[in-house]
């Protein structure tokens, strides 16, 4: 079965290489943990498209991708790249907390004389919310809304400190009217407040005007994700409804004035895959943009879960679909599928700017001296200081991890109380992949010292293969004390039974090892380890199902961790684990 899937997948991707000839492309355009997309086209920045997406508790936060052709997307920065921008991200509680639904917008400033090299005279803006999801819906402290901005999205450090504003909700979106007045629109469950709210906003101070309730959708669950567009004399208000599950949909209304009244589109919902057998489900939370030819497109989130909604470990991803929007009429969206035919694409596909990788690229990371961590590597919440060392003295071309007291399950599965976890990972961006990492475990010295690799969704959903020191019984064939083991264990809402494996003959704590994780088919991961210099001796120590890692708002990350597993008396930095030769090989997308 696995070979059949691989064969058909590669055949499909081979056909898609002829995109310029037939305008056919594949979804998702941003695979993996990239939900709640907001995308814009900026002609004055070399006809470049930019997309922002939600990051929840991951840091750096709000990844920014750019493209010249809507198909090949490159990570160019992270809008939240400095811990002091949002220090409270370290103490969020619950996996559904963190940064929700950024809206990215660009405002040209014709009065500015300065122009960035390769860019325009305007400014990029993001409005978003830091959510503390353990607090009550009517507790205003649950929602920390703010705006940030930059005149150069290719420089992560250029984003301003947040300007906070008061709003009892989330999914905020900025809109500039023709007279220059700026409005912010956001959403909240209307059991607490009316669902959609709009007000004027001063972007320098965060001061807002009176809030108004323009429209609450068609009656679907949780009207949210509002965006306002102005076209042909109408203000169009687009929403997500139905919740972010199988009932997710896109709806719209319009008005001659921004304050309303708003008339619903007669063909609502405009976009949904609800009540279909499609692989791509939960389609919603859309944004609209025009391309270099003036054609309209929509981006939205979707899960490759099928209608049973069980196996979707990569979570909510970003998809693209063409939209027909005639003058004075309502937009018509093409349904989302794995292979679509759209408008004519630009022939320009390469993007020379930006330091991050293309979304479909493999990893071959060697952490050379005097280099920084790659842009696409992330932590869960804020990293503790001096925990991730790139090629320190004596460990050239390696990454050194200083252990945390907490393991990946943390205190209670929902919070670190600001103490941090030593983990660094990259998003799983392929249905099928192989990830390998060289690990030197020789610095483990006390019981429960552990270094390993995890496929991590959130603190209560992760599977780990670790090298751990444990006590061994005093028996005929063993000596008292501690010994190294391979340990496979996990969490899938509740703990999964762990298994222990003694080191095989000829392998010791001083043997350089490699750990391998594979998404070996559509539904299963395998976890293996063995001597670095004798890969043929690698053994498989465990399997995890994709549906055991399918839950919530995020998507899977894969990467190393180091911990003392809460050992009494231990402190952060109790030992250092040396890793290297970080390799991630994409091996296929299941899109059909």
For the annotated catalytic residues, the residue numbers are 36, 224
CA distance 247 to 249: 6
What the block records as the tokens of 85 is 């921008």
Cα–Cα distances (Å) from 80 to 142, 170, 419, in that order, read 19, 18, 20
Burial class (CB in 10 A: 0-12, 13-18, 19+), 81: middle
Question: In this structure, what are the phi and psi dihedrals at residue 274, rounded to the nearest 5 degrees?
Answer: -60, 145
Which residue is listed with tokens 């842009």? Answer: 375
Query: How far is residue 156 from each of residues 62, 160, 386, measured CA to CA in Å?
Result: 10, 10, 20
Token code pair at residue 565: 């597993």
Other CB atoms within 10 A of residue 564 CB: 26
Dihedrals phi, psi of 546, to nearest 5 degrees: -60, -35
- DSSP secondary structure of 316-366: SEEEEEEEE--TTS--EEPPP-SEEE-SPPPS-----S-SS-BTT--EEE-
Q: E-strand spans in 180-312?
A: 182-187, 196-200, 224-231, 234-241, 249-255, 263-264, 280-290, 296-304
Per the structure block, which two tokens stand in for 453? 């690799």
Rounded to 5°, the CA angle 127-131-137 comes to 115
Ramachandran category for residue 456: left, alpha or beta (phi over 0 → left; psi -120 to 50 → alpha): beta
Tokens of 559: 């990467």
Maximum CA pair distance of the chain? 87
What residue has token string 């860019």?
A: 119
Q: Which neighbouring-strand residues pair with 111?
A: none
CA dist., res. 263 & res. 253, Å (int) = 5
Closest listed residue to residue 283, CA positions, set 233, 240, 230, 340: 240
Closest CA relative to residue 252, chosen from 222, 279, 282, 215: 215
């Amino acid at each position: 079965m696995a070979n059949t899937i691989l064969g058909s997948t590669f055949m499909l991707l081979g056909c898609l290489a002829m995109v310029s000839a037939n305008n056919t492309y594949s979804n998702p355009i941003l695979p993996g943990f990239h939900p709640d997309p907001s995308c814009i086209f900026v002609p004055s920045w070399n006809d470049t498209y930019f997309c922002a997406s939600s990051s929840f508790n991951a840091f750096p936060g709000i990844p920014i991708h750019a493209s010249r052709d809507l198909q090949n997307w490159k990570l160019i920065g992270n809008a939240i790249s400095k811990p002091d921008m949002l220090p409270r991200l370290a103490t969020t509680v619950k996996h559904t907390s963190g940064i929700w639904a950024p809206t990215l917008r660009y405002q040209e400033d014709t009065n500015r004389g300065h122009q960035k090299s390769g860019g325009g005279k305007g400014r990029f803006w993001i409005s978003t919310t830091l959510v503390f999801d353990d607090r009550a819906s009517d507790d205003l402290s649950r929602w920390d809304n703010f705006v940030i901005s930059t005149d150069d999205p290719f420089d992560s450090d250029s984003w301003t400190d947040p300007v906070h504003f008061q709003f009892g909700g989330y999914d905020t979106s900025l809109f500039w009217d023709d007279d220059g007045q700026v409005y912010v629109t956001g959403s909240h469950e209307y059991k607490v407040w009316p669902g959609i709210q709009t007000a004027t906003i001063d972007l320098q101070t965060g001061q807002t005007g009176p809030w108004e309730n323009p429209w609450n959708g068609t009656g679907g669950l949780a009207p949210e994700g509002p965006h306002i567009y102005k076209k042909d004399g109408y203000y169009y208000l687009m929403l997500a409804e139905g919740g972010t599950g199988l009932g997710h949909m896109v709806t719209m209304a319009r008005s001659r004035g921004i304050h309303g009244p708003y008339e619903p589109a007669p063909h609502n919902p405009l976009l949904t895959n609800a009540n279909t057998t499609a692989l791509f489900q939960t389609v919603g939370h859309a944004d609209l943009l025009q391309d270099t030819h003036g054609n309209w497109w929509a981006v939205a989130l979707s899960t490759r879960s099928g209608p049973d909604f069980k196996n979707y470990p990569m979570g909510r991803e970003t998809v693209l679909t063409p939209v027909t929007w005639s003058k004075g009429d309502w937009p018509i969206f093409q349904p989302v599928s794995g292979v679509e035919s759209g408008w004519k694409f630009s022939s320009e596909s390469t993007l020379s700017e930006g330091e991050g990788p293309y979304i479909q690229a493999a990893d071959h990371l060697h952490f050379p001296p005097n280099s920084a961590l790659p842009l696409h590597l992330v932590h869960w919440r804020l990293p503790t200081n001096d925990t991730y060392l790139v090629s320190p003295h004596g460990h050239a071309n390696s990454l050194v991890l200083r252990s945390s007291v907490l393991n990946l399950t943390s205190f209670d599965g929902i919070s670190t109380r600001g103490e941090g976890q030593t983990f660094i990972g990259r998003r799983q961006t392929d249905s099928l992949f192989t990830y390998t990492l060289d690990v030197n475990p020789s610095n483990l010295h006390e019981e429960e010292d552990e270094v390993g690799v995890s496929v991590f969704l959130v603190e209560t959903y992760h599977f780990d293969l670790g090298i751990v020191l444990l006590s061994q019984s005093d028996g005929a064939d063993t000596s008292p004390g501690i010994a190294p083991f391979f340990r496979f264990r996990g969490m899938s809402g509740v703990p999964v039974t762990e298994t222990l494996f003694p080191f095989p003959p000829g392998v010791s704590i001083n043997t350089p090892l490699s750990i391998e994780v594979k998404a070996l088919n559509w539904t299963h991961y395998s976890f293996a380890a063995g001597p670095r210099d004798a890969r043929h001796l690698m053994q498989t120590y465990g399997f995890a199902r994709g549906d055991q890692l399918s839950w919530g708002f995020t998507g899977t990350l894969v990467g190393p961790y180091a911990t003392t597993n809460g050992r009494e008396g231990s402190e952060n930095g109790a030992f250092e684990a040396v890793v290297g030769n970080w390799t991630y090989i994409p091996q296929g997308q299941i899109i059909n």
